[in-house]
Amino acid sequence: MTAIYQTVVVFAVLGLLALVLRYFVGNDRRPVPDPDGTDFGLLSEVAVVPTEEAANVLVQKLKRNGVRATRSRNAPYQVMVFPADVANARLVLKS
């Protein structure tokens, strides 16, 4: 009788653990990453240029002025920054 009781308790604990993990971890409803590379998440576009070299020049100019920046991988190249840096980036790019 003790072995059956222990087996039931073990399965009950495992079932409870599975339910708890499912509730806290297994409820991921985030969208699937964008396979074509057009979704940049939190980044905001501040410039669009036709060549990779021009995009690199703008990104380096922004970085020299303390603005975190990156560019897209495909033409036309988008220069992007975080939303908090958009105003500063536009000021830097105007000068």
Asked if the peptide bond before residue 35 counts as cis, ω within 30 degrees of 0, the response is no
pLDDT digits 0-9 by tens, 29-66: 777 677 777 778 889 999 999 999 999 999 999 999 99
Q: Report the SS3 class of residue 26.
A: coil
Domains of the chain with CATH codes: 1-94 (3.30.70.1530)
Closest CA to 72 of 94, 54, 55: 55
**Type of residue at 88:** N
Whole-prediction pTM: 0.64
Paired tokens of 36: 């074509």
**How many Å separate Cα 95 from the centre of its chain?**
30
